Amino acid sequence: MSKIKKIAVFTSGGDSPGMNAAIRAVVRTARYHKLEVTGIRRAYEGMIDGDFVAMQARSVSNIIQRGGTILKSGRSKRFLEKKWRDIAAINLKREKIDGVVAIGGDGTFKGALVFTKEHDIPFIGIPGTIDNDLYGTDFTVGYDTAINTAVEAIDKIRDTADSHDRCFFVEVMGRDAGFIALRSGIASGAEAILIPEQKTNLNEVIDLLGKGKARGKTSNIVVVAEGDDAGHAFDIAKKVKKRLKDFDIRVVVLGHLQRGGSPTCMDRILASRLGVAAVEAFIAGRKSVMVGLNHRDIVHVPFEKATKHHHTVDPYLVKIAKSLSHPPS
């Protein structure tokens, strides 16, 4: 058993559905092991400002189904400077906090790694991001909900596309990764899926849409990850329209819609498993690791690996997407 008696928990970066479920799991597991728990509001900003709140089992009642995060979230420019990290450390030590659970993404864990090296306060990370781009875990908390939200929206867009014989370019989140676009595109039967991991050839997209029209196809959906190398959905749609002048083209940007909403069952269970695992990692004496899920098993991934490497898209899914959207003439 470690000497940890009191831990803190916070959520950082972009909010993702399931963060509340993770907070709940951390708090209740800690209390089960008779550890005290402090919540840090507004992530690293709150750590600098001493925005702390004591948490009991009842503090997290009725939140497992809620989207967003009861502890608020955000990004802190101040935390990039050592003088502010020093103040954050003073605040944690004043509260007698022995370890911190950080729920967030790549930037969250990079900050935790630097902070631990400077002040020897252990951190355990829980991957909370809709992008699913963290190395070392099959899924991140919020990803499943985000892709289901995207699929639901695309299905509704498909209805109006069919009704008006239109081609819709639907932009989903994914500045550096195409996980949301790839899975939601396959699941919604998109005619083309454009992701940052694959160089986009607009001539191929235009040829695909043109051949579809020649076969009698009257409506199309093209899913675009916001970080695609060919540009944002509006830029791509404009370029395509110049070549396919007889197409009725519309653009929909789903944006932050994908961040909100009640988490799916998968995200609630994943968040619960990882929340329990984070506390157990502290009890086992671990630090500077992210708890993740690999082939259904809990794993501990050093922050160095989780932040230096990238979770890559499944090439077989890319192959599937191409096969399903390129039927024979």
15, 98, 106, 131: the catalytic one is 131
136 close to 105: Cβ distance less than 8 angstroms: no
Q: In terms of C-beta distances under 8 Å and separation of at least 24 residues, what long-range contacts does 268-273 make, across chains too? A: 268/18, 268/21, 268/64, 268/65, 270/18, 270/139, 270/141, 270/144, 271/18, 271/19, 271/21, 271/22, 271/25, 271/126, 271/128, 271/141, 272/21, 272/22, 272/24, 272/25, 272/64, 273/25, 273/298
- Alpha-carbon distance of 302 to 311, in angstroms, equals 14
- Alpha-carbon distance of 17 to 8, in angstroms, equals 20
Q: Residue 70: which of 13, 116, 19 has the closest Cα?
A: 19
* Whether 131 is catalytic: yes
- Alpha-carbon distance of 128 to 130, in angstroms, equals 7
DSSP secondary structure, 254-265, as one string? -GGGGG-SPPPH
- Alpha-carbon distance of 140 to 151, in angstroms, equals 18
Q: List active site positions.
A: 131
